[in-house]
Structure 1
Amino acid sequence: MTTVDAIVLAGGRASRMGGVDKPAIMVGGRSMLDAALAAVGDCARIVVVGPRRPELDARIEQVREVPPGSGPVAAIGSGLRALGPNAAPWIVVLAADLPFLTEDTVGELSRHATESTADAVFAIDASGRPQYLVGIWRRAALESALGQLDSLVNQPMKAIMPTETAVLELPGTSDCDTEEQVHSARVTMAADRTAARLNLTEARELIVSGLTPLAAHDAEFGEVTGAALAAPIHAAGALPRFDVSAMDGYAVRGDGPWRLRRDIGFAGGARPAGLLSGEAVRIATGAHVPDGTTSVLRDEFAAITGDELSRRPDTPIRGDVRRSGEDRRVGDLIAPAGTPVTAALRSAAASVEVTAGLVRGPVRARIVMTGDEIRSTGPLQAGQTRDSIGPVLPDLLTRLGVQILDTVHLRDSAHGFDDMLTATDGFDLLVVVGATGGGAADQLRTALARTEARVLVPRLALRPGGSTIVAELPTSPTVLGLPGNPFAAIAVLLALTPAIVAGRTAAPAPRRVLGPLHNAAEIAGPVQRITPARYAPEGGWLGDAVVRTAHLAGLIDRDGLVIVPADATDATIVEFLPLPA
């Protein structure tokens, strides 16, 4: 919509809600102001009228109506003045109290306006009520209407209504003026999200972008495997610190032949005395070369006769000296914020005298096994089954960068989860196995609703694993609800945990391993599937067309899992999830 600008009204008194900052109220995981800004995201310019909000994108212009709280007409006037004489011919005007507003709503208004002769087009909500703060105006008509008023302060919207208007019934245009309406919107949004099923790509994107990052803290890198940098790290020392020999051989000065001295330079030992022209000294890899060294002659290139050193015929001339700072100078960037703390990062940082920094994480997890029928130790009683998932989860999660705090067993009861979802001090991730379906004993979803958790992934469009749920508790821990089915639980765990770790540590989304699945047509169905696979001799993978999901025997002698798109054909490029060793 390059010919449309937008004015978003984000001020007002919110008198019926006790004067709260209404545009900042969260509904469905985002503020009502964010909903309005997303709806006008394709507009050429956007002006937000209201109190200054530092978190907004710098491309969004911010102004304040004068005086503050002087009504929508005054706010529209301030927004139009901010757009200036080069404003677009059409102006969208939106109030930031419409949580269900979408880009399609604004698009429909724009299309209808440009096809009609009206000076303004307004939306009608589901009750048939015109929403004069969900509309699009001809700029000239809006300027004219505002210009006819002696004062814009505390004027009703009808004071600027043009003679020729049109209305359009559109979904998503119900506003929230009271606490009851906000609560109703949240319930509706939660119900809509609960019914949705996301594929793995959609789920991961929401997890990485939607989870609240952990607080940053200073830590020794060797103690926080699985964390990610919260700030970039820079070299505190040069690498190499001084000029060192890159090979075992002889430090020489000049072109040779050279007089060989008796002393030797060892790595970590005393630096040999400086070389005179035509001198050489035996030196080891990593040793500090003496002053005056022009190059190091490798052992395999050297010929010695008595005290004379010379270069063997037909051998190349090389420097073989690593000069101070040639790899890193003081202040050089070693790794940017978001980089996971791995063995490679620890080593690279230590080599330039950096052993600690600001990090987020590691993610600390509690594992919750559910079900009265599950028994981990001791003899099985009638109706019981052995816990075949709990014993392997800690090892798998650890290898995925998660720090395990403990594993607990939760009996089936109507309110069994309530205490666990509210007493959340000390952990960042709650991994729940079972209780995610819709059965009588599956209580996780209702317990999450009671805590007003923010659901990011309500269900997956995936077989197996469809009943998976990912949510964030008001106290910030993430809840990963896995199906009780053993194979489904492990498959979803491997597919989603890296995204959860990235989201909580503010690291980039993990890169995917892709390649051809040679027998995809044999496996694919109407929805995305996940199944064990082994490496194919020619590269790529061969997946298992049939897998028994009630146990993990299907993972024996398999290299990983493949995520198979719906209706895939042979040689389709698929994602591969390697099994941790």
Structure 2
Amino acid sequence: MRRHERAHIRQPRCRLPKHPPKSGAPISPAGGVKSAAGATVDLIVLAGGRGSRLGGALKPAVEVAGRTLLSRVLDARPVARHAVVVGPPAARPAAGERVSDALIWALEDPPFGGPVAGIAAGLTALEANADWVLVLACDLPWGADAARLLVAAASALETVGEQTIGEQTEGLHLTDDTGHAQWLAGIYRAPALRAAVARLGDGVNGASMRELLAGLHLMGLLDESEAGADVDTWEDVKRSTARLAGAPTILSDPRSDPQ
């Protein structure tokens, strides 16, 4: 997936803490999460890639430290009202038997249309608009930590008032210290994201994230804790497994620990 790209477009960037919050936003009575300003969040997990750099392995089912990548990213469900997984039927067991039935499942048409086509399919599967849409690739072992950081940042924008940058910011995403934007660890205002998909029309298949997000006012969040670290190769699998099993990690929520 073409999600690691250098952010050539000038955009504000702020610094994230080295450790994420110890807990997510409070759960609302409706089962989703509301920010401090009452905003709602939906989650789209993209799980439809080919896994070509993993020898064609089904990436959602690849295990890191005893758990599938998809199950780890789905630890982010508590921060969202609804969760959609865009991926093939073969990926469903990787979500876990108890989790799979509670999810909305979708698949881009045709399959393997890329992340933008996956986002379009995920938005179609969501019946009602939330205020924000959290977008996560399925290969983020620390995706739940990234989700909490992003939701907290979006919540802060909702509370700063109409005359500040929060009024103009249409999305936030993680950015590493080299300037590479992780757009598939991002949170976007739902109306802006839907408008961007509509602008591409039939061109969503094979479109890049840069094409989708062109024209949106985005804020990059400096990811010092590496919550947006992904798994593209078997070497990445080994490195992430060692990090989870050995040295102290950024994980601070028991939902992110091996079960």
TM-score w.r.t. the length of structure 1 is: 0.32
1:553-568 to structure 2, matched below 5 A, reads: none
**Corresponding residue SS for 2:200:** coil
Q: Is the Cα contact below 8 Å between 1:126 and 1:174 reproduced in 2?
A: no
Offset of residue 193 of structure 1:
6.6
Which of 130, 149, 152 is residue 88 of structure 1 equivalent to? 130
Deviations 1:383-407 (A, max 9, x none): xxxxxxxxxxxxxxxxxxxxxxxxx
Deviations 1:447-505 (A, max 9, x none): xxxxxxxxxxxxxxxxxxxxxxxxxxxxxxxxxxxxxxxxxxxxxxxxxxxxxxxxxxx
**Corresponding residue SS for 2:147:** helix
Report the Cα distance in structure 2 between the residues aligned to 1:83 and 1:155, rounded to whole angstroms: 21
**Distance change (3 Å), C-alpha of 1:125 and 1:34:** farther
Which of 200, 204, 209 is residue 157 of structure 1 equivalent to? 209
Offset of residue 98 of structure 1:
0.9
Offset of residue 126 of structure 1:
5.1
1:97 counterpart residue number: 139
Q: After the TM superposition, which parts of structure 1 deviate over 6 Å for at least 4 consecutive aligned residues? A: none
Offset of residue 127 of structure 1:
4.4
Offset of residue 101 of structure 1:
2.5
Stretches of structure 2 lacking an aligned partner (at least 5 in a row): 1-32, 35-39, 158-165
Which of 169, 173, 183 is residue 122 of structure 1 equivalent to? 173
Q: Does residue 45 in structure 1 map to residue 71 in structure 2?
A: no
Report the Cα distance in structure 2 between the residues aligned to 1:102 and 1:127, rounded to whole angstroms: 23
Q: Is the Cα contact below 8 Å between 1:91 and 1:138 reproduced in 2?
A: yes
**Corresponding residue SS for 1:97:** coil
1:217 counterpart residue number: none
Report the Cα distance in structure 1 between the residues aligned to 2:141 and 2:69, rounded to whole angstroms: 5
Report the Cα distance in structure 2 between the residues aligned to 1:143 and 1:9, rounded to whole angstroms: 16
User: Higher relative contact order at CA 8 Å, sep ≥6: structure 1 or structure 2?
Assistant: 2
**Corresponding residue SS for 1:148:** helix
Report the Cα distance in structure 2 between the residues aligned to 1:123 and 1:76, rounded to whole angstroms: 18
Offset of residue 124 of structure 1:
1.4
1:74 counterpart residue number: 117
Which of 102, 110, 115 is residue 151 of structure 2 equivalent to? 110
Report the Cα distance in structure 2 between the residues aligned to 1:167 and 1:181, rounded to whole angstroms: 24
Higher helix share: 2
Deviations 1:312-364 (A, max 9, x none): xxxxxxxxxxxxxxxxxxxxxxxxxxxxxxxxxxxxxxxxxxxxxxxxxxxxx
Report the Cα distance in structure 1 between the residues aligned to 2:130 and 2:188, rounded to whole angstroms: 10
TM-score w.r.t. the length of structure 2 is: 0.70
1:305 counterpart residue number: none
Offset of residue 23 of structure 1:
1.5
Indicate the RMSD between aligned Cα atoms, in angstroms.
Answer: 2.2
Report the Cα distance in structure 2 between the residues aligned to 1:160 and 1:33, rounded to whole angstroms: 24
| Structure 2 residue identity aligned to 1:182 | V
1:65 counterpart residue number: 108
2:37 counterpart residue number: none
2:60 counterpart residue number: 23
1:47-446 to structure 2, matched below 5 A, reads: 47-52=84-89, 53-54=92-93, 55=97, 56-84=99-127, 86-103=128-145, 105-114=146-155, 115=157, 116=166, 117-125=168-176, 127-151=178-202, 152-161=204-213, 162-170=215-223, 171=225, 172-192=227-247, 210=259
Offset of residue 78 of structure 1:
0.3
Report the Cα distance in structure 2 between the residues aligned to 1:178 and 1:61, rounded to whole angstroms: 28
Offset of residue 181 of structure 1:
1.3
Report the Cα distance in structure 1 between the residues aligned to 2:118 and 2:176, rounded to whole angstroms: 23
| Structure 2 residue identity aligned to 1:167 | G
**Distance change (3 Å), C-alpha of 1:102 and 1:150:** closer
2:23 counterpart residue number: none
| Structure 2 residue identity aligned to 1:141 | A
Q: Is the Cα contact below 8 Å between 1:14 and 1:177 reproduced in 2?
A: yes
Q: Is the Cα contact below 8 Å between 2:174 and 2:228 reproduced in 1?
A: yes
Report the Cα distance in structure 2 between the residues aligned to 1:139 and 1:102, rounded to whole angstroms: 20
Offset of residue 62 of structure 1:
0.6
Report the Cα distance in structure 2 between the residues aligned to 1:87 and 1:78, rounded to whole angstroms: 14
Report the Cα distance in structure 2 between the residues aligned to 1:4 and 1:154, rounded to whole angstroms: 26
Q: Is the Cα contact below 8 Å between 2:74 and 2:144 reproduced in 1?
A: no
**Distance change (3 Å), C-alpha of 1:96 and 1:192:** same
1:481-492 to structure 2, matched below 5 A, reads: none
**Corresponding residue SS for 2:105:** strand
Greater Cα radius of gyration, structure 1 or 2 = 1
Q: Is the Cα contact below 8 Å between 1:125 and 1:174 reproduced in 2?
A: no
| Structure 1 residue identity aligned to 2:237 | V
| Structure 1 residue identity aligned to 2:219 | A
Report the Cα distance in structure 2 between the residues aligned to 1:29 and 1:97, rounded to whole angstroms: 14
Offset of residue 182 of structure 1:
1.4
| Structure 1 residue identity aligned to 2:53 | R
Q: Is the Cα contact below 8 Å between 1:40 and 1:106 reproduced in 2?
A: no
Report the Cα distance in structure 1 between the residues aligned to 2:71 and 2:176, rounded to whole angstroms: 20
Report the Cα distance in structure 2 between the residues aligned to 1:158 and 1:165, rounded to whole angstroms: 12
Report the Cα distance in structure 2 between the residues aligned to 1:144 and 1:29, rounded to whole angstroms: 39
Report the Cα distance in structure 2 between the residues aligned to 1:150 and 1:5, rounded to whole angstroms: 22
Report the Cα distance in structure 1 between the residues aligned to 2:179 and 2:73, rounded to whole angstroms: 21
Over the matched positions of the two proteins, sequence identity in percent amounts to: 37
**Corresponding residue SS for 1:12:** coil
Report the Cα distance in structure 2 between the residues aligned to 1:38 and 1:147, rounded to whole angstroms: 30
1:12 counterpart residue number: 49
